[in-house]
Chains A and B, each alone.
Chain A
Amino acid sequence: MKTTKNEHLQMAKLDELQDIVVQTRRDILRMVHKVNSGHPGGSLGCTEFLVALYNEVMDLKEGFDMDGKDEDLFFLSNGHISPVFYSVLARKGYFPVEELNTFRLLDSRLQGHPTTHEGLPGVRVASGSLGQGMSVAIGAAAAKKLNGDDKLVYSLHGDGELQEGQNWEAIMYAAGNKVDNLISTIDRNGQQIDGPTEEVLPLGNLKEKFEVFGWDVLEVAEGNNLEAVINGLKEAKSRTGKGKPVCIILDTMMGNGVDFMMHTHAWHGKAPSDEQLENALGQNPETLGDY
């Protein structure tokens, strides 16, 4: 098939984003390895999503202010995947990339779980204790409507996190009150600390559950395929403003991009050894330069 000029441009852009994805994986691995703590599994699984969101999908202003009026907002509810969040924010220019060196260290703005307390640009609420992010996102979305601000609010949640009841309060509220400037994504990697979600506490059919609660749901089966993620996010965006909150069920692979971290929940909150780091970095050669 003959490719058009536009498709060439898109491919160039995809290549550029793919470089950020690979570099973000390296950042995650090196951050967690350096302090021998943190959560690489879920971070690697959500790398394509966050890179796409911040670099291709969200409508962002220059610089950072807490209110975020007239720009899209993002809330990370599953705060333990802070490594990917920090890397994406730093690579986007919210703070110096070198600051990733301070992850989880004393006096750092890059706390183990994200916080506003230390004043890190890009972070608008603390998260870590699970289940609170959707409520906050709904509040920010409601404030946007009151302000006549037509930009969108995005949130990301772990699937295991949906075991927290507050989510279902929020899911019910968002549909009942037509919060249609909100796109909440569920990272459906099927894993949590103690094992597969369907063994720890089954989540069942999430698509049906959200739909029954009154949401517009779309599924992205290839949650680690950059192009599929971008298309899914753009499709979700096109469905906003129609009286329903929008949910993306994003099927991802924990530990994606590092062969020995995939297909297991073992790397939920474990750092690689020196040898494992070398192996993992070997699978993801430097693209934009290490910090």
Chain B
Amino acid sequence: MTKYIDQGKNDTRSGYGEAMTELGRTNPNVVALCADLVGSLKIQPFIDENPERFFQIGIAEANMMGIAAGMTIGGKIPFASTFANFATGRVYDQIRQSIAYSNKNVKICASHAGVTLGEDGATHQILEDIGMMKMLPGMTVINPCDFNQTKAATLAIAEYDGPVYLRFGRPKVANFTPVDQKFEIGKAVMLSEGTDVTIVATGHLVWEALIAAEKLEEQGISAEVINIHTIKPFDEEAVLKSVKKTGCVVSAEEHNYLGGLGETIARTLTVQHPAPQEFVATQDTFGESGTPDQLMEKYGLNNKAIEKAVLRVLKRK
């Protein structure tokens, strides 16, 4: 299988911050909004260089989404950022009416998604956001896997006209994708070809999927690993092509199994090419306090969980 090297652990949110700094210099229409979490979103350099294009909204996420929607009417490209929980569930109706239904060019940029925010616990984590956002007509949903890809995604969505939900996280994770990658919205990335099983992963679980594939290879199992950075629009063709070859699939995501990437895959397969599937995802639960590693272990979101899921799905082929 294709080998990937960890170029050094980094947090995906810093990829967002770095891209915002770049956008501040290259795209005069980009404006940044934040709800009292500048430090967490890594956008201080953008603010330092473009103070007039930064809007501190305060602890008022509903107002932030509305202001972002209004700014698009003057041709601005607002990047509205806060923690994923407060960027989605708290303001679902504001996003639905003022952004998605109104088809406004707002980029909702959500950090600290999933459980790996860690010690703050369930109130500050979210495992339902992909589901909520993908159910909104017209909303693009992106969940990049590492620092480099988050940076590339942030730059790419500035060029795309329409509402986008961009999801990233807090912990430092392996940075393994190319620094100069081209980010194509809606286009899956084939990371490693294989013949026995397809592992489709998103976000922090992509690196874990690569580790699992290596361990499976040692057992004589050839896994194909696909990185779905864009959950909507979903690259059906890439997944179908792979599953037609391997005959089974494991989906892996830091999200509830209800409403996430796994469900999108299951629907695609059910309609077009029924095949056994196993879900690596949380099982309809809230998170809790703990270190990221502890939480990944407890909620079955790491390479070990993926490996086990592959062994299960192979028996069902």
Which residues of A are in contact with B by a Cβ distance under 8 Å? 66-69, 73, 75, 115-117, 124-129, 131-144, 146-147, 149, 165-166, 169-170, 172-173, 176-177
Contacts and interface: CB of A to CB of B under 8 A. Distances in A.
A125 B94 contact: no
A140 B98 contact: no
**Residue picked from A129, A134, A146, A172, most chain B C-beta under 10 Å:** A146
B73 A139 contact: yes
Interface string B42-83: 000000000011010110101111111111111110100000
A132 B75 CA distance: 20
Contacts of B78: 139
A173 B58 contact: yes
Given A117-B103, A132-B98, A125 B60 contact: no
B181 interface: no
A135 B67 contact: yes
A146 B76 CA distance: 9
B69 A146 contact: no
Nearest to B68: A139
B33 to A, nearest CB: 9
Contacts of B57: 173
Given A116-B102, A116-B103, A125 B67 contact: no
Contacts, number: 121
A121 to B, nearest CB: 14
B101 interface: yes
B75 A134 contact: no
Query: Majority SS of interface residues in chain B?
Result: helix
A285 to B, nearest CB: 38
B255 interface: no
Contact of A143 (B66, B70, B96): B70
A166 B60 CA distance: 8
A136 B104 CA distance: 11
A176 to B, nearest CB: 8
Nearest to B69: A136
Interface of B: 31, 52-53, 55, 57-58, 60, 62-76, 78, 93-94, 96-98, 101-104
Contacts of B68: 139
Nearest to B103: A116
Given A115-B101, A139-B68, A141-B70, 5 more contacts: A68-B73, A127-B97, A131-B62, A137-B70, A169-B62
A140 B101 contact: no
Contacts of A135: 62-67, 69-70, 94, 98
A66 B101 CA distance: 15
B74 A146 contact: yes
13 contacts: A124-B73, A127-B97, A129-B96, A132-B94, A133-B66, A134-B66, A139-B68, A140-B73, A141-B70, A142-B67, A166-B94, A172-B58, A176-B58
Nearest to B55: A142
A146 B53 contact: yes
Contacts of B31: 146
B272 to A, nearest CB: 29
A49 to B, nearest CB: 21
A138 B102 contact: no
Nearest to A167: B63
Given A116-B102, A146-B31, A170-B63, A136 B74 contact: no
B32 to A, nearest CB: 12
A131 B74 CA distance: 21
Contacts of B55: 142, 177
B57 to A, nearest CB: 7
A139 B62 contact: no
B66 A166 contact: yes
A109 to B, nearest CB: 14
A149 B71 CA distance: 13
Please provide the 4 A-B residue pairs with the shortest distance between their CB atoms, ordered closest to farther.
Answer: A139-B70, A135-B66, A143-B74, A169-B60
A140 B74 contact: yes
B296 to A, nearest CB: 36
A138 B73 contact: no
**Residue picked from B55, B65, B68, B98, most chain A C-beta under 10 Å:** B98
